[in-house]
Amino acid sequence: MKARKSLLVLGMALAVISLTSLPAPAAVAVSCTINTTSVSFGSYNVFSGLPLDSTGSVIYNCNRRAAITITLDRGGAPSFNPRRMLKASEALNYNLYLDASRTTIWGDGTGGTQVYSDRSTPRNRNVAVTIYGRIPAGQDVTAGSYANSVTVTINF
């Protein structure tokens, strides 16, 4: 019974405070949308001594200025390095990066990865961020289609 009375008194005190305070402008919640374009590598040549690079993008738009982060998951792989595209039980290693030199793995901030961050997003404007993909050279895999899905998450 005491807990109920305490809560009731607290509710009345808050009502009094809100009635005697100056009017505040209405708060508008931050809302963001996110879209992606796939990283499509095309044909991988097992005999090439060079990695196969490609790009995709993440496009986000927020209704208000906000600090945001964008994370990518492992895509079902046991770790971020490497991520794996699969064809049945066969794997083709690859990774996704934040930088064109393909040295900073884009992940969730764990396991040596980094997240994309924007401390003050532009208001009501599409922002495109490039995803840099790379399949390392020298992988002995059979011909066929390899695929993987990675979840992209925007936090604001």
Domains with residue ranges and CATH for the chain:
30-155 (2.60.40.1090)
Average pLDDT over residues 109-129: 96
Q: What is the mean pLDDT of residues 46-54?
A: 97
**Beta pairing partners, 154:** 70
Q: What distance in Å separates the CA atoms of residue 67 and residue 124, rounded to the nearest whole number?
A: 14
Please report, rounded to a whole number, the percentage of residues in the chain having pLDDT higher than 70.
Answer: 83
Confidence (pLDDT) at 11: 29
Give burial (CB, 10 Å; 0-12/13-18/19+) of 147: exposed
**pTM above 0.85?**
no
- Whether residue 32 contacts residue 156, with contact meaning beta carbons closer than 8 Å, is answered with yes
